[in-house]
Structure 1
Amino acid sequence: MNTVIAKNEKYDFFSDKYLNINSCGKLFNTGYKILRKNGRSDYHLLYVKSGRCNAVFDGKEYTLTDGNFVLYYPYQTQEYSFDETGCTTLWIHFSGRASAEILSELNIKPGAYQSRLSDNGTAIFEELIREFHLKHYMHHSAENALLIYLLTLLSRHIHTVQDVSDIERVIMLMNISFDIPYNSEPYAKMCALSQSRFSHKFKEVTGEVPSRYFIKLKMEKARELLKFSNLSVSEIAERVGYDNALYFSRIFKKYIHLSPTEYRTKTK
């Protein structure tokens, strides 16, 4: 395998702009290794769209496949290779006086990440590359916006644990089962958590304890039915899981600050 020792690269610099895309692109790579022993003066993100790349970080070798990536900070040794089967990568070198602050705020540390980034992240990356090369009007602003969004997606990806994706599944289920009484037990089992841990994790993700979140969902659905249907208050109460229309009306007023009848009169 040929080793390309990269040095004196044209776009290796640190910009004093807020953010700056020094260079970026999309390549199909086969049978060679890149080595920057002293790194570069900018940040480098290498993302594997398809195939396999072997990246070395802090002396440890990682095999990166579809959706994996490695991020090098300035002056860190950069070493990665592509075998003969080929690998398609998206890459970017960026700098700017806000770079360190943005990465710190997003809690993105240098390293190799082997869990898979979403297809949405790939699409954002490719749109950034298009903006950079097509140079449309205000392309710098578009590039910076896309870079910040891409880094945000990376941060979410890096720091989203299985608990959170399970909570998202619970939220989706709640949105289609608002007509039943709240019961934390099956939701906690879905997440393989105790009921108390499930409640804590749910609040971390949504800002609400699950029972209150579920009631608010019911009230939002009731508001829709009051505004856009001719169903009676009793029928709407039943649709959102309340056998007792008077109890439903009390809950509705507590959350919406109007009785169901007052709300319907005001919004019709």
Structure 2
Amino acid sequence: MDNLLFSVFPNENFIDLGLYQFGWEHCRPSHSFGPAVRNHYVFHYVISGAGTLVAENQKGTAHTYRLEKGQGFMLLPGQITTYTADKEFPWEYTWLEFDGLRAKEAVEAAGLHLGHPVYDAGCEELRDSMANEMLYIVQHAEQTPFHLIGHLYLFLDCLTRSSVSAKPRKSGRIRDFYIKESLSYIEQNFQSQISVEDMAAACGLNRSYFGKIFRDTVGCPPQEFLMKYRMTKAAELLKQTTLSISDIGNAVGYPNQLHFSRAFKNIYGVSPREWRRQNKIISTK
């Protein structure tokens, strides 16, 4: 189709920031998507035309926003949204779906949240650079994952610096130190039977306070992040080695193969064995 470009990112093993899908579309009049809920952050930038976004706020109340050329809108994880192209001047937009450890921080820095999902630019030059980074990713889907992730960082830099609702960075050095310490602890000990209490103790914090600052900064509870981190490592082993499912489970902290398979399927939607079948194993010879 001449009015649609769509790609799925080939690699999800990026912890800080990762791409999932991206594309461009010149919609038909009144073309609508939703109501739907996304698992990740999705940003749309309107290149031309117009349309409407209906999005729920923090209280679950739906609000309608009219958007035109030069504006954008962020769909947040778990938020119910519907967006519809204008019947006379249907919009043309490009979008990126992304997530990761630094995603929540970047989106909040741009001043975008459940109560304010619409992007307006305070600097046209940075806005245009942002749009160019988005289109570059869409038009160069064949490039390596590292290359595309680099342009995702450039996109987020332009987004946060150009947004008229951008928030000045708060001084959070102590909190950032605690999060860095906890992530380092997870990286070094994810193979063992560690708990949230262990993570908190490694930072010298009580469990309750540690859980709060971790969720506020990362966007999910520490136990959930630990499981996702382990499953990312498991996926790497499934793809790059010929180790048994049981051995891989042990290697990422799941001595019980049944518990490992359930956790893996919860993240990837299929069993470890099926995921390995769908993804080529790199030869170790």
TM bucket normalised to smaller: 0.3 to 0.5
Structure 1 or 2, whichever has the larger Rg, is: 1
TM-score by length of structure 2 reads 0.45
